[in-house]
Each structure stands twice: as C-alpha cells, then as structure tokens.
Structure 1
Amino acid sequence: MSAPALARVAAHRALLEAARRGGYVRDLLTASESPHALDARDRGLAMRLALGVTATSGCLDEALDAFLAKPNKVSPRVRCALRIAAFELLYGGTAPEVAVSQGVELVRASARGAAGLANAVLRRVSEARDAYLSAEDVAPAGRAAVAEARRAGLPVWLAAEIRSSCGDAARPLFGSQLGVAPLAVHVNPRAEGSVDAASVGGSPSALPGCIQGADGPRLVASGLFERGDAAASDLRAQLVATAATRPGTCLEIGAGRGTKTYVMAAQGRRAGYAREHTALDLHERKCALNRGRLEAAGLIDGVRLVTGDARDLDGALAGADAPPRLFDTVLVDAPCSGTGTMRRHPEIPWRLDHADARTGLPGLQLAMLEQAAAHVAPGGELFYATCSVLSAENRAVVEAFLSGERGAGFSPVPVSRSGIFSLPTFAPAAELLRACEDGDGMFQSVPAPGCYDGHFCARLRRNA
C-alpha cells in the first residue's frame, strides 16, 4: 500500500472544488496553495490531470459506468478519483499498473471501503481501453463517428458538428484537442525597447507587437502583465483585432476584459492612427478590469468604457458619456461556443448545450450583428468575430445577416485587405490571414498540433 502522489491529490482537490463552485479548474489549481508545495514536475502533472479530466469527463464516466453496478451511487469524491485514473488509462499514457495502483490509493484516501471496487473497475477499464476507444460496442454504421469522438474526448454530437463544419481540418483539431495550445503575447508599444522575444522565451511574429511561442512560467515571473507591458492573447485573436484597427471612431461590442481593446489601442499607436474607441460590455466588472489594464498600460487615452446590452445599443449608448451614434468601425466580438479554444478552456465540451450551439447562440449573434449594423457610418466597416469553429455561428450567421433587411447595404470584403495591412510594417501579417481565408475573404482558423486557436472573422463594408 502506498500513498497517492501529491500531484494527483492536488488535481483531485481542484476538480472537486471546480465542481462545487461551477468554476474553472485551471484558475483554481493555479490560485491554490497546494501546487506551490510541489516541484515543477509535479505541478505540471497536477495541471495536466486536472485539465485532461475536465476535457474528457463525459467519456471517462461512460467508460467507468460500463463496469459500475450502481453508477448513481458513487460519491462525487470517489468518482473524481476514478476519473483521474481512467484519464491516465485512456488518454494519459501512464503505465496501467501505475494508473490503477494510484487510482486505488486516491479512492482509498476518499473512502477506504471503496478501494476494492476501484481496483476491480479500473482493471476492467484498462483491459477494455482499446475496445472502448475503437467503439466496438457501437453498431458498425455509427462506429467510426463515435470512435473519432471518444479518441478526442468529445461528446459525439460536438465531434459531428465540428466534422461537418471543418471538413478535413477536423482531423488535426481532434488530434490537438488534448494537447497544449501555444502561448502568444502582445507587447505594449512603450515596452518594445525593453521587451523582446528572447526575454520571454518566444520568437518574433510577422505581426507587429506579437511574440509567439512564449514560455508561460517565464512570462509570469517577468511581471510584464502586472506592469501593463504585455497582454496574453492568441496570435490569431491578435490578427483579428489588428484587422479591425482603423482610423476614426470605433465601437467594440463584447469587449470583455479588454484583450482586443488592448491590442487595438497598441496597434493604432504603431500605425499612427487618430482613434476614438468605445468599448462596450454587458458586465460592469469586466469593464472595470478593461479600464484598469488600459490605465496600467498607458493606453487609456481615447478609450471610453460603456456598460450595456448589445441587443439594445441605442439604450446602452444613450447612457454613455456622449459617444457618437455612427462609427467608422464596429467590431462585434460575439459570445460564442468557444469551440476554437477548447484546449485552453477544457470545461467547454461537456458544458456546451447542443441546442445553444445550433440555434441559441446563432440567434443571439445575429441579433447583435443586426443591432451593430445600424451604428456603422456610410462607407464604414463592420467586423464580426467569434472564437468558434462551428459554421452555424460563423458563416451561417453572416449569410443570414446579409440576406436580411439590416444587411442589405453591406458587402463582404477580405479581412486580409483591411487598411492597416497596406502599411509596410503590417503588410507581412496579411499572409497569416490569407492562409485561412475563404473565397469571400472570411477568415476561419482551426486548431491543430503546434498551431494557434480557432477564430472566425468577417469584414463587411457598408455602402456609402
């Protein structure tokens, strides 16, 4: 008999707390005191187990429940311990004898009398691993689709939606689903003389201000975020924000904590643009966080923060400090499924509701886009962006908008030809967008091993 490894205990504790609070396991594990008592290797294992179990929880339960006589009678603490061991057996590459032994000890620490049950169930999960992942229990007609979903740790319906939306690009997405997404940051123009790629363990990008492949621990230790000298942002999200950076007035809808606000303010300065930026979000707390970061970064000049509902822009803007009613640029950063960012947010696959992804979110997105269109000045541009890979939220929403009354005066134009990319320093970045554009110039990236996240952006010009 041996005690469970500290990394597994830390992962178990964080997973239980996330379930209790309905929170995010990464945040809880990072903020908790216990990981700091571990060495770097164990901290990494604890994070990998916690994130992996979260990302594949439905598949883990399915595999476990096949060998539990009374699945509904298993306590949350015991189930959580069983999930950790099952993840190691199915997806983690841990030696079966280690995964089973450690799983039994983790269960024993939660409920001593359940150790025998855990031993029997985990051994059977180990023996059935290949058959489960190959979906041998499913009729031949549906076996391939179920096996694809199980190997990626996804709900079958979500894997099918991704396959339908992404075509051949779905395979590398599924292959990267349980991997680590690369880290990129955007550097404040004021800090470019003191912050370079080597200092954060990364490499320069074709996009001005962007450092790609940065080292997370080195970034955290650097203090760059606290000083406002950099903001963490996926490379492809930075491309979208840069494309929407234009001279004149801008309305950013769905600004959240302000990562795109930060990037747009920084890129506007690099481009020498005179800009007035109104950043709107539904939540006052997020607006306050946006303001605080911009102030720390020295990027607040010309930026107005507004709290309000994007489905009632007239009402939201009427309560603000005399913003314009028509804008040269409107960016709708729409609430979405987040399916392009599942590696960073492992809660998404098993919390996402099928009806929301198919109809609920697209309905909200279309309503926001139609509201936004009424605030684009003649000759101005409307950008619609999500971090989803589902066509129902992306191209289908844009097509529904363009075919309706509110979209009749708009025409799609390539994102890569946005005006900022005509500037010599920004021109090389346009190729990064063109690599993922369709025939109408709409940008859609898809995650893959070693690649950045899935983002969508359509650029629509209003007729003068």
Structure 2
Amino acid sequence: MGTALVSALSCARAAALSVLADSDAAAYARERLDRLDATAHLDSRDRALALRLVLGVTSAVGVLDDALNAQLDQPKKVAPRVRWALRVAAFEILYLDTPTEVAVSQGVELVRSVARRAAGLANAVLRRVAEGREAFLAAEDADVEHREVVACARRSGLPVWLVRELRASLGPRADGLLASALKPAPLALHLNPRVEGAADAVSGAADVLPGCRIGVEGASIGRDDVLARADAVVSDRHAQLIATAATRPGTCLEIGAGRGTKSFVMCSQAVRAGYRRAHVALDLSERRCRANADRLARAGFVGIDTVHGDGCDLDAVFGDADDHRRFDTVFVDAPCSGTGTMRRHAEIAWRLTTEDVRHALPALQLALLRQAASRVGEGGELLYATCSVLSSENKAVVEAFLNTAEGSAFRLVPVSDAAIFQLAGFAGAAGCLQTNEDADGCFQSAPSSGSFDGHFCARLVRVR
C-alpha cells in the first residue's frame, strides 16, 4: 500500500493520542475517554477504535516501552507526547491486525502532529519495531531460562512478575486469562425489578440468573437513559452471582460498597425473592456513598442507609464500642488488586507491585475480615469477596482469618448453597457458581476469551 493512501491522520488515532497524552495520570482510561471532547465528533466505528487504542496502550504500556526503547538511541530524551504517539503506533504493530504500512504511516503522522521534526525518527523506529515484531514477541532477546515467561508477558501486555503470580495462583486457568488480557470484556447488566419494561430498553439475552442480561452491546447501554434512570446497572455476571449469594432476609452490613453496584443487585434480588431487609452500605469515601444513595433513590429502593467510614474501625463508624450492633449478614467486598478485571481497568497491571499483592492488600483484607466478624450475629453469615484472581488475596486470606480468634467462630460453607438459590427461579444460577467452586465451596472465576471477569467469594457461617 502506498504511503500517500494512508498519510492523512485518522480522527480515531488523533483522539486516542489526545486522551492518553492530555489526561490526568491518575484517571482511568475509560473515564478519560468519556469526559474528553476529543471523541465527541467521532462516529461509532472511529470511537470504538479510539477506545481500543486507549485501553490497549494503557494495558500494555510497559511492554510497548520495551519494544520502543530497544530501537531508540536515547530513550530518556523522547518528549512525553512523542512517546505517547509512538506507543499508539507500536500497539497497532504488535497487537492489532492493522497492515504494517498503515500502522507505520499513521504513527509517523501522529508524531508529526505533536513534533514535526520527530517524524523521521518515528518512521525509522516504527519500521524497526515492525521488522522485529515476531522476534520481540517471542522474547528471543531474553535469557533462555526466562524466555517462555517473558514471551508470555509480552504477548499479553503484562509485567513478567505478574504473569508468574497469575500462573502460581490459577495454574492452567491462567492461560485463558493471559490469552484474553488485551481483548474486550463482555458486558452484562442487572435490571431493576421495580421498573416495568426495563428489559425492553437494552440489548442482550436473559441469563439463568434472574435480573441478569448478558450479550449486551455497548452502544445500547446509554439508550433511553436506562442507566441514568437506574433502570439497570452495568455489572459483571460473576459479580452479580456473588451479590445474589449475599442477599438474605433480615439485616445486612455491606462493607466496601463503593458506588453501589452490588447494593443495587442485592436490593433487586431481595425484591424478586420477597425478602424483607434492612441494609447498611458502608464505604470509606463519602463521595461514593452519595453516589450510591442517589442511585438507590432513583431506583426506588428503600430501607438502605449509606454510611461513610473505615471498615477497619467499625466501633468508630457505629459509635457503639460497648454494645456492638450485629447483623444477620455481613458482606465484605474488599479492596483488592483487581486482577480479575484488568480487561476493563487498563491501568491495573502497571500500577501494581509485588508488595501490594503479597503483603499490603492481604494485610488490609484480613483486618477487614476480623472487624467484620465481630458484627455477625448468632447463626449469621459472613461473605468475603474480591475481584482478584490471586490466591494471596483470596483463599490465603480466608485461611489466615480462620486461624484467628475471630475466625475460630466460623466455618466455610459453599457459596452455591446460599438460601436464595433454593428458591424457584434462582436454582439454575447455583450451577454457575458450582462450576467455579473448590472443595471448600469457595468461588473463584477467571477471565478467558468471551467469558466474564475473575471474582472470588467465600461464605462463612457463625457457629458459636
């Protein structure tokens, strides 16, 4: 293909560069894309490419820099905006089906748009990246003893250390996660049972889990203000299963409620099950608590209190150090690495450290569980959930908890045996949980091509 045919810079690539280079470094890529004006003029096809580039470049940024730095004489002297432009082009060369001439030519024009004098450098560097693509992805430059894992990390766009952690935690199931790491994740919704006709306003198919809609097209989600009216929420199917398992009659304390996606699902399922409940949704962020309360009010749910405070100090939250308030159900949706949701949250892989996943997060998670245990009433249930696939944050935390004084009062029971799954209409969903349960009944899903996210849940019953 001749250069003249592809020399005009595409709107989608220009928009992607603007989103990547001009945004707050702490922002999530999806938030950047949604709030910037750069994509307002794009049609659906161009906007989809811009989104793909933004998420892909963010997901694989460390690998892209390795590929580029190997072809640059002075990597540290490359201006930030030029580097972002080179990353966009390198992502297309390494991971997309874009013809090489198109990816290189567009990359050159992208660099020219921010630094005209760097166009020649871009042309030389990107052509060398393209020529060395197969050797780079095969990690032919790595030591033989590490070549296989380095090659796997490069193909998946992830840090080498994280690939090792994923394999150690998931075993053979890590292969599916790694193969799908740079692919879009499927979308699912949960419908508000109080809204007649909510299912007619969105695409997709009804799932075996009541209220869950799968096979959802992204373009349909915003149609008719379905989300703005709280007729539905976007929620991963596995997250919906866990929230459903935590839905019981009586009183419930939800720790780590965030903006309230699981709060919404639990309230919805309680309506379908005919449960009477009183629900306290706790989060450390006052802003997230307000967002949760606002959406629950729009949805028409009642009996929900949103409280902001530290889940590691529930005495301070409730002001009852001498007379603990207890609940029939305590659901800990713990802060975690998010490694089960990396396809949706592109920044995760390159922000995490080994200290986070081996020490800092597990210590926090255990502290939350120990505090939560003191608030479970006699015969009550304690559920612990993360959106991580790492055993250090999941089964290891549960085992550590069971070995504490607080944990000695509990025993593990299968998540799929939760009472709600005994009800007509809900029994089929139990099978979805059972396919991902271990011998102790703990649920652990893992992403793969076409499948939903990685989530963990342990269900514990107070026995004394």
TM-score for both structures, normalised by structure 1 = 0.97
Aligned to 1:412: 412
Aligned to 1:40: 44
Taking the aligned partners of 1:284 and 1:21, their CA distance within structure 2 comes to: 23
Written as runs of structure 1 = structure 2, the 5 A alignment for 1:64-463 is 64-191=68-195, 193-196=196-199, 199-299=201-301, 301-318=302-319, 325-463=325-463
Aligned to 1:10: 15
Identical columns (%): 57
Change (3 A) 1:188 1:319: farther
Letter in 2 for 1:16: A
Q: CA deviation at 1:357?
A: 1.1
Among 40, 60, 84, which residue is 2:64 paired with? 60
Letter in 2 for 1:238: Q
Q: Deviations over 1:321-373 (max 9, x none)?
A: xx971111000000000000001000101111221111110010000001101
Structure 1 stretch displaced more, 385-394 or 224-233:
224-233
Letter in 2 for 1:308: G
Taking the aligned partners of 1:131 and 1:319, their CA distance within structure 2 comes to: 63
SS in 1 for 2:259: coil
SS in 2 for 1:256: coil
Q: CA deviation at 1:316?
A: 0.7
Taking the aligned partners of 2:26 and 2:266, their CA distance within structure 1 comes to: 32
Aligned to 2:30: 26
Q: Which runs of 5+ in 1 are unaligned?
A: none
Structure 1 stretch displaced more, 324-333 or 253-262:
324-333
Tell me if the contact between 2:19 and 2:38 (Cα under 8 Å) persists in the aligned partners: no
Q: CA deviation at 1:112?
A: 1.0
Taking the aligned partners of 1:358 and 1:4, their CA distance within structure 2 comes to: 44
Tell me if the contact between 1:306 and 1:317 (Cα under 8 Å) persists in the aligned partners: no
Letter in 1 for 2:421: F
Taking the aligned partners of 1:267 and 1:44, their CA distance within structure 2 comes to: 33
Tell me if the contact between 2:192 and 2:231 (Cα under 8 Å) persists in the aligned partners: yes
SS in 1 for 2:279: strand
Q: CA deviation at 1:21?
A: 4.1
Taking the aligned partners of 1:292 and 1:67, their CA distance within structure 2 comes to: 51
Taking the aligned partners of 2:144 and 2:386, their CA distance within structure 1 comes to: 36
Q: Deviations over 1:85-139 (max 9, x none)?
A: 1000101121111111111111111111111111111111111111111110111
Q: Which runs of 5+ in 2 are unaligned?
A: none
SS in 1 for 2:316: helix
Taking the aligned partners of 2:13 and 2:363, their CA distance within structure 1 comes to: 42
Tell me if the contact between 2:192 and 2:198 (Cα under 8 Å) persists in the aligned partners: no
Letter in 1 for 2:15: A
Q: CA deviation at 1:459?
A: 0.1
How many residues align? The count is 458
Tell me if the contact between 1:362 and 1:393 (Cα under 8 Å) persists in the aligned partners: yes
Letter in 2 for 1:166: L
Q: CA deviation at 1:221?
A: 1.4
Taking the aligned partners of 1:145 and 1:245, their CA distance within structure 2 comes to: 41
Taking the aligned partners of 1:294 and 1:302, their CA distance within structure 2 comes to: 10
Letter in 1 for 2:245: A
TM-score for both structures, normalised by structure 2 = 0.97
Tell me if the contact between 1:182 and 1:452 (Cα under 8 Å) persists in the aligned partners: yes
Taking the aligned partners of 2:324 and 2:257, their CA distance within structure 1 comes to: 17
